[in-house]
Structure 1
Amino acid sequence: MTNPAHDPAPLPRRARTRRLRSTAAGAGALALAASLTACTASAEAGENGDGFFDTSTVHSISVEYDEADYQEMLDTFAETGDKDWIEATVTIDGEEYDDVGLRLKGNSSLRGLGGENTDTAPQPDEGDGTVSADDPAGLPWLIRLDKYVDGQEHDGRADYVVRGNNSETSLNEAVALKVLELSDVQAEQASYARFSVNGSDEQLRLVLDLPDDDLWNEDNYPDEGITYKADSAGDWTYRGTDAADYVDAFEAEYDSTGGTDDEAYAPLIEFLDFVNNSTDEEFAEQLGDYLDVDAFARYLAAQDLVANQDDIDGPGNNAYLHYDVATGLMTVVAWDQNLSYGGLGGGGSFGGGPMGEAGARPEGGPGDAEAGEGMEPPEGMEPPDGVELPENLDGADGTTQGGAGRGGGMGGGMGGGDNALVTRFLADDDFAAAYESATQELTASVYESGDTQEYLDDLAAMLTDEASDLVDADTIASEAEDLSAQLTGSEDQQTDSASAATE
């Protein structure tokens, strides 16, 4: 953490946490000038609806770096588990950017590369578990345009995440992000890109923006605030009043207040103190003073709608927290949806659609089937020491992992732990009712309206038209059909989706 005594003038969070490296004056000026020109063109394109996150087309990203830097980065990761940055030239939709930061992104998705951080308890892969150093175009990457050139951006974003997935089309994550958008749940944007590295063959990849990015925060939260990233190995426990005790559980990725690190962590510490240590009566009466309760009910409901088994209380602890200074309220930001819909694995390992009252699927809703279907744990899966799987994991009695009617693998199975906020929220009758109401309302507005199916059909048709040289049309149709079955449970809808992908 930054020592305020050595930091007499508070710096913007970007300067404090990213430690931008200075470049030679001449080269830096030229790079910045080129960046500003590209950004102007990108902004104009975005205003015309042709920006990078336009999902009506497949975009392009190519990366070039020194092979020796790449090998050194791999060696460091294998030896220590650290993900070092290397410099690269990145071209996005024809706009070239020099002196770009590039590093590996992910945790379980990188287990195929080795490294100390890969010897962990069993948990779902972010990707398909087959990543290889010999196929860098298939690795999950973080591209940071402003890592070494301050102000360098493309279409109003500096950070781009090239995602891993266990499907060939990544349709599950793309559609899940659309569901979150339709549910008014804060999350990321995504689009498809042809991705290549050092002249390699192109691969179809889903690319996201990132809540680490100052520009993402400025767009989504124009008022003063702080955004924290929950670490995959951390938890939501109260650890006392010392900010240093929280840095391994939450990282303050964005802070527009200009305060010290201790000041940045103060709202988080106060929030976790309340969540963990308040009485049940205090929790029920005062939670609304700390948390946007309606937004959190929608977040929980939407994560169930997409059957995500790896969210706030899943094995990856995937979430951000945003603190709004003006309201004093926290909001959970959704992150990491590539295990949604079971990763297109045939209905989801521990779910497969939204859950209604008492854990039963709404009649005629997504995945209209018995609640227990497709919910057995993977064959041979053993929980880590000290973790017991819930008795009703198989859903035979209509309940699901996590209890309280939550679907999508919630509640800390497969290596995850109970999240105090989720557990206490759902244990309170009024908050649980708000969650159940949000689930029913979103089921109707997001799924029964046909909006999600229409979006899936459009994506499948677009990928077939523009990317069937990267993923064959039959695979696109098959994965779209699998996903459609989870959205609607209707054979007619499945057929329509498959037809859209092949037309």
Structure 2
Amino acid sequence: MRPVRPRLVALATAATLALGGCAAVSDTSDTSGVAPATRQVADGEGVWDADTVHDIAVEVDEDAVAAMVDTYQETGEKQWIEATVTIDGETFERAGLRLKGNSSLRGVSDDAEPTDLPWLVRLDEYVDGQSLDGSSELIVRSNSSETALNEAVALDLLAEAGLASEHAVASSFSVNGADPRLRLVVQNLDEDWEAENFAGDGLLYKAEAGGDWSYRGDDPDSYTDVFDQETGDDDLTPLIDFLDFLNNSSDEEFAAELPDHLDVASFARYLAFEELVDNFDDIDGPGNNSYLRYDADTGGFTVVAWDHNLAFGGAPGGGGGFPRGGDGERPTDLPTDLPSGMPSGMPTDMPSGMPGGERPEGGPGGGPGGGGGMGGRSNVLVERFAAVEEWADLVDQAKADLTAELYDSGYAEEVLDRWAGVLTEQAGDLVDADTVQEEADAIRSSIAG
């Protein structure tokens, strides 16, 4: 039986303990406006039992899929369609199915194999209350590796780091009777996830891939294409007020008042974590990947991590730590004339690893922040946070602490071995053992530094 894996919550007090010895932490954590649940979320059971490769079969009208793909190609809209979904032998009629992702959908065509596409499955989209083991939403993830070990391991480490994470399981996934593929399935960040990770009422906002963190005035309609509200009654006021503060406060006001608006210790730990696992596509990466969770009781925000399929040096289309293809080589025909940086309003879901502008000085890759890489873009919170010396020091201390806790302790290798063992023992019909070993060794090298 796999050992219990703590699903810790991102809370200032836990981060304070983990960042012990840094005087700045006590100052910021005392005034942080965020105090999520202190309980642990244990390893998943049932559909989220990570000791098992789960069987997921989808039956859906092929014409409906084709129409959905056409709509996405023409408008970018991701429409829901009905499907019959069978998970580990339990069948759900009239479940909802729609495309999920941004860069993972780049170049999607009418002849795309549905079994290979990224999906959001919502069991209760058309039937109220329909769920499995308390969950109604599952995301079938894309990954440039054959095993998706990089994201699976990163999510486990994220939880061990004391930051809000999501359940993940390996699956044998197929659509309309096609040969199944090995796909990582993760928990969607919805009401069920929020209740598992945070205590009290709150609101969850997702940054859109094509958006930014600019202040656009107090009209909620101005933020339609830049943030989505995922939980709670529709209310963008807390988000708008926060963006106003981030963009319009003076340097003195920002340094003095940010702890009233944001869990500073947790954010420092988040930035350190993303750098530690070399996740280029984080809060200021090309995908703008992040959530903001507002605590209605304290009036503060927590930054929530999202999207780790590029962790440990992964890159769409191969390369990074995850070679693909017969020779295992990275593609050599990538364009080399991309402009430096990503201007506001330009597409931001370029495949990671393509040449482009360097990340801003002081941002991830060059200081506090996520994994290094090219093609990232600026984020006002990251830039201003890194410019405050005591908070930059927090990130440095957090990275040192996390290195000791996750890597030097041997925990990361234990997690990697558990995940690789599940695939080797149960997914031999989906991926050969040599591939599992090769991709596990690539991650192991990254962990070893």
Counterpart amino acid of residue 310 in structure 2? L
Q: Residue in 2 aligned with 1:189?
A: 167
The alpha-carbon deviation at position 49 of structure 1 amounts to 6.3
Q: Any residues of structure 2 matched to 1:104-503 within 5 Å, and which? A: 104-114=99-109, 133-211=111-189, 213-255=190-232, 258=233, 261=234, 264-343=235-314, 380=336, 382-383=338-339, 389-390=357-358, 402-406=365-369, 408-409=371-372, 413-414=374-375, 416-489=376-449
What is the alpha-carbon distance in structure 1 between the residues aligned to residue 423 and residue 52 of structure 2?
A: 8
SS at structure 1 position matched to 2:106: helix
Change (3 A) 1:422 1:64: same
Q: Residue in 2 aligned with 1:71?
A: 66
SS at structure 1 position matched to 2:48: coil
The alpha-carbon deviation at position 186 of structure 1 amounts to 1.3
Change (3 A) 1:400 1:428: closer
What is the alpha-carbon distance in structure 1 between the residues aligned to residue 154 and residue 294 of structure 2?
A: 24
TM-score by length of 2: 0.81
Asked if the contact 1:404–1:427 (Cα under 8 Å) also holds between the matched residues in 2, the reply is no
The alpha-carbon deviation at position 113 of structure 1 amounts to 1.5
What is the alpha-carbon distance in structure 1 between the residues aligned to residue 83 and residue 297 of structure 2?
A: 39
Does the alignment pair 1:88 with 2:88?
A: no
The alpha-carbon deviation at position 381 of structure 1 amounts to 5.4
SS at structure 2 position matched to 1:223: coil
The alpha-carbon deviation at position 175 of structure 1 amounts to 0.8
What is the alpha-carbon distance in structure 2 between the residues aligned to residue 384 and residue 51 of structure 1?
A: 47
| Number of residue equivalences | 386
Give the gaps of 5 or more residues in structure 2: 1-40, 323-329, 344-355
TM-score by length of 1: 0.72
What is the alpha-carbon distance in structure 2 between the residues aligned to residue 470 and residue 165 of structure 1?
A: 15
Query: Cα RMSD (Å) of the superposition?
Result: 2.6
Calculate percent identity across the aligned residue pairs.
51
The alpha-carbon deviation at position 438 of structure 1 amounts to 0.7
What is the alpha-carbon distance in structure 2 between the residues aligned to residue 317 and residue 107 of structure 1?
A: 11
SS at structure 2 position matched to 1:52: helix
SS at structure 2 position matched to 1:464: helix
What is the alpha-carbon distance in structure 2 between the residues aligned to residue 63 and residue 185 of structure 1?
A: 32
* More helix as a share of residues: 1
Change (3 A) 1:293 1:477: same
The alpha-carbon deviation at position 282 of structure 1 amounts to 1.1
Counterpart amino acid of residue 199 in structure 1? G
Asked if the contact 2:118–2:139 (Cα under 8 Å) also holds between the matched residues in 1, the reply is yes
Counterpart amino acid of residue 73 in structure 1? M
Counterpart amino acid of residue 485 in structure 1? S
Change (3 A) 1:67 1:331: same
The alpha-carbon deviation at position 85 of structure 1 amounts to 1.0
Q: Residue in 2 aligned with 1:367?
A: none
Change (3 A) 1:284 1:49: closer
Superposed CA offset, 1:296-344 (max 9, x none): 0111011111101111101000111100011111011111110111117
SS at structure 2 position matched to 1:199: coil
What is the alpha-carbon distance in structure 2 between the residues aligned to residue 245 and residue 202 of structure 1?
A: 43
What is the alpha-carbon distance in structure 2 between the residues aligned to residue 456 and residue 277 of structure 1?
A: 44
What is the alpha-carbon distance in structure 2 between the residues aligned to residue 392 and residue 243 of structure 1?
A: 29
Superposed CA offset, 1:33-92 (max 9, x none): xxxxxxxxxxxxx99964222211211111011122112212222322222111001011
Q: Which has the higher contact order (CA 8 A, sep 6+)?
A: 2
The alpha-carbon deviation at position 155 of structure 1 amounts to 1.8
SS at structure 1 position matched to 2:107: helix
SS at structure 2 position matched to 1:233: coil
Counterpart amino acid of residue 146 in structure 1? D
- Higher CA-based Rg: 1
Counterpart amino acid of residue 290 in structure 1? H
Of 383-392 and 145-154, deviating more is: 383-392
What is the alpha-carbon distance in structure 1 between the residues aligned to residue 98 and residue 414 of structure 2?
A: 35
The alpha-carbon deviation at position 140 of structure 1 amounts to 0.5
Asked if the contact 1:348–1:408 (Cα under 8 Å) also holds between the matched residues in 2, the reply is no
Change (3 A) 1:433 1:109: same
What is the alpha-carbon distance in structure 2 between the residues aligned to residue 104 and residue 113 of structure 1?
A: 10
SS at structure 2 position matched to 1:55: coil
The alpha-carbon deviation at position 149 of structure 1 amounts to 1.1
SS at structure 2 position matched to 1:112: coil
Asked if the contact 1:347–1:486 (Cα under 8 Å) also holds between the matched residues in 2, the reply is no
Superposed CA offset, 1:446-474 (max 9, x none): 11111110110111121011101111111
Counterpart amino acid of residue 196 in structure 2? D
The alpha-carbon deviation at position 200 of structure 1 amounts to 1.2
SS at structure 2 position matched to 1:72: helix
